[in-house]
Amino acid sequence: MQNHREGRCGTPLVMCGQLTLRPEVEAVEPVLETQGYAAVPSWRHDGRWELWTREGNITSGPSETFASRGDALTAGRLWRDAR
């Protein structure tokens, strides 16, 4: 038995209605569409911020959290510029 979490794509689950995006993520959909990235408060409500990204019709996030919204947005700009 493995001790690590398995990464899974939630897109099929969202598309069939079995999984819904958090309201905070849905609220930044327009930003994701135009900018390709957005900062969202952490689901843990611990003051940290998540970076969510969009490529085509695939929304991804969060892979890590950041101490501030500014830090998350800086990481988003770096991600976008590196694509």
CA-to-CA distance for 53 and 61, rounded, in angstroms?
A: 6
In angstroms, the CA 45 to CA 1 distance is 32
pTM recorded for the entire structure: 0.77
Chain centre to alpha carbon of residue 18:
18
Alpha-carbon separation of residue 1 from 5, 6, 7, 9, 64 (angstroms): 11, 12, 16, 21, 25
The distance of Cα 33 from the centroid of its chain, to the nearest Å, equals 13
Going residue by residue through the chain, which has 83 residues, state the pLDDT in tens, using 9 for 90 and above: 444 445 566 667 667 777 777 899 999 999 999 999 999 999 999 999 999 999 988 888 888 899 999 999 999 999 999 98
